[in-house]
Structure 1
Amino acid sequence: MAFLVPVLIIIGGSTMQLELLDRLRQINPIVFNISNFVTVQDVANGINAIGASPIMSEEINEAQEMVQLSSAVALNLGAFTMPQIEQIRTVGHLANQCRKPLILDPVAVGAVQYRHNVVLELLNDFDVDIIRGNAGEIAALAGVDWHAKGIDAGNGEDDIAAIVKLCAQKQQCVVILSGTIDVISDGKQVVKISNGTPLFQLHVGSGDMLTSIVGAFAAVSGDYFVAAQSACAVFAIAGQLVAERLNAELPGTFAVQLMDELHLITVDEVQRNLKMEVVK
């Protein structure tokens, strides 16, 4: 029998458990996704590449069985209709009842008022364990003014770390703001991961992939703050390693090689390349 050797990185009192990557690959958790039709294939392939198993469904009548057989649930609000919102609400309740980690991706919530209203209603209906979004989306859920542009992060002048912490406190969950620098908070602590590459911005499915990969890590850890950090580190460094091998901005090549790197990346590579800091 193989035993996992804990690989801990302790910075400023915050601990990242990099062995979660190996644990994930051994356990092969099932991540149930209500996904965005624009990026569903990227998401499924990304989950599969990292070592978990994806399942997708748009049918409310099978929601209970899907949640029961899954190890985590990821809800993406990239493209939805009212019937789909009812499915999302049902799945959210079931995830809470079955005590499955629940991850929410509030796409464009900072740019469209209707989406903002829907997301706030959903957050009142069930408890979310982790929210993953860009700067505009997280600022909107924190109640901070921000100029978001569609699915893009937009721009603002506020302290990003403070916004993420405020959002985590307000929504009472772990919050990930992904971007050039990933910022993660549980409402008390804030961690920054400065890996990654601008090529993520040229691949529309990157954020959605990360959301569901976070779900895979949450499925094998009882500490969602640690799981979020580990998932962000692995994903960012995988993208960074691919970008370093390319000699130009090649978004198509990047997307293909990102899948390869997610499958091949090791704990040792993550440990060697990690750029992480705790925000005081």
Structure 2
Amino acid sequence: MINSNLRKIRNIGIMAHIDVGKTTFTERLLFITGKQHNIGEVHDGNTTMDWIIQEQEHGITITSAATSTSWKTDLFTDVQFNVIDIPGHIDFTAEVEKSLHILDGAVIILDVNAGVEFQTEMIRRQANKHAIPRIIFCNKMDKTGSDYFISSNSLIDKLSIKTIITTNTNWYTIRIPWIIDVVNMKAVYWNQNGKDLTYSIMNIPNEYKNVDNEQRRLLVDSILEFDHNKITTCLRCNKLDSHSIISLIRLATISGKALPIMCGNTLKNKVIQPVLDVIVNYLPSPDDRQPVRDSLLTNWF
């Protein structure tokens, strides 16, 4: 039986190799959802999640820190996020292991220039051990030489992970990004105001349509590989719309068959809101997961 209250909860971890923007992402998440009124910065030593003195002095996460906030989407209202900011340094792997016992899903953050790094592989093994569904966020898209598709391919080549590209990117200057929502086939443009926290949704510019139509085709082809029967049913009923695609991606994500992948820039406050929507749409609620066994919790204390 589906519990409607549990369906509106996401217990998620933010995971990454060190120095790719994990805590920076979490700070933006808390600000945008209204949990806090100022954005903390790692380099200023004033982030909410790095709360002990050693973390603030050295600019790294040492212990897992948890908090709660909420978010509204087109499909759900007041979804509760229970968020754990998990250390990225190899020396604190035990903290990662403890946190994974109680997570339902995770956001893995990559440096788009570096792609898969050593700790990324460690995170993959730990998350697989606990069967944690994940989404991927490719960060630092403003860096010179950034290539979203190289990062995506590195996931396939190094980790043998099947990715589903849900956003395409066209950064024709560092300051003016277009992000294309491949699922809904809309362009998302970040308005150039103070903190770049507002955006507009509009039709895809003509110069990008060919590329994005191809990405949409590849997206549908990818889903077809995961569940042929369901997508065939959608095609027969002529219902392969964005809601059907979201439902199919969600099933593939929760079952561990695929990882949705997005891109953006946390320090410049771009693409945080769409990632929050993706967390709601694709990552599981507690109702989608098996209960945590008491024997697992004994290692927490």
Could you say which structure has the larger radius of gyration?
Answer: 2
**By percentage of residues, which structure has more helix?**
1
| TM-score (norm. length: structure 2) | 0.43
| TM-score (norm. length: structure 1) | 0.46
